[in-house]
Amino acid sequence: MLKILHYCYPNRNREDFRWRNSIVLLLVLAIYITTAAANDDSTQEVFGTWNSLMLTGNFAGLTPDLKRFRWLVMDQVRTRDDSRAGTRYSENLLWVQLGYELAPYTSFWLGYTHAWIDPLAKSSFQENRPYQDVLIKVPFLDGKWMSRTRFEQRINSSSGSTGMRLREWIQYSIPLTFVSQQLSFYVGDEVLFYLNRSSFGSSGFSENRVIAGFTYFFNAHWGADLGYLGQYVVNDTGRDLFSHNLMANIRYRF
């Protein structure tokens, strides 16, 4: 494999390819561990979609002094085929967040999510989710390595029950310049833990998400993502859940 890559990229040394292969192997291992749960008889498999629209920008248009302050608004609709009637609406989430770029590769964010949840055979409810992020983006080899640490507070607006959740997400993306200057490939993993027991679940590991897909920018403003998300969810009261989701996202940068 290294010989083939070295032939295609003669200016890259073998150590570069070893590093790149190591990253890919780690992410593939995370994907394998997660998807292996789907073969467990105690795990229920479903299919669904996560479709979203994302708007991003900064405040440099107001004054250059605010160029380090950034904002994001995103709405996402999710479906599942866990009903006998077929695919159904299951969730809608609206994110609003503000960030500050502390350094070229590090930013801090404060956000809020409002979620409309429609569980199968249970009463619908809404959630309020304030959260805090630390986001790191570092150039690595020919691509970009990203890490996000999120602490969020899931608050059931009906009962007031609050779940404190810690989320750690990593992703590696690399441009596919041999196909198009506007196309890139990404692969990543996110692990979620509850720090307390609540109506959302027990404390400890609760969920793992693996993602892979493609991003294409039509121009400096418009872009689109298309990929796969495998979501493994621990269920305290029944079978664990593994959902296979087609992810589609339209993005606009101001």
Output the tens digit of pLDDT for each of the chain's 254 residues.
334 334 444 444 554 455 555 556 556 655 665 555 555 567 889 999 999 999 999 999 888 989 999 999 999 999 999 888 889 999 999 999 999 999 889 999 999 999 999 998 888 999 999 999 999 999 988 899 999 999 999 999 999 999 999 999 999 999 999 999 999 999 999 999 999 999 999 999 999 999 999 999 999 999 999 999 999 999 887 789 999 999 999 999 99
3-state secondary structure of 216: strand
Q: What are the boundaries of each domain within the chain?
A: 2-253
pLDDT at residue 3, rounded to an integer: 43
* Region 2-253: CATH code: 2.40.160.40
The secondary structure of 80-128 as a DSSP string is: EEEETTEEEEEEEEEEEEEEEEEETTEEEEEEEEEEEE--TTS--EEEE
Q: What pLDDT, on the 0 to 100 scale, is given for residue 6?
A: 44
Predicted local distance difference test score (pLDDT) of residue 8: 43
Q: How far is 243 from 62, CA to CA, in rounded Å? A: 43
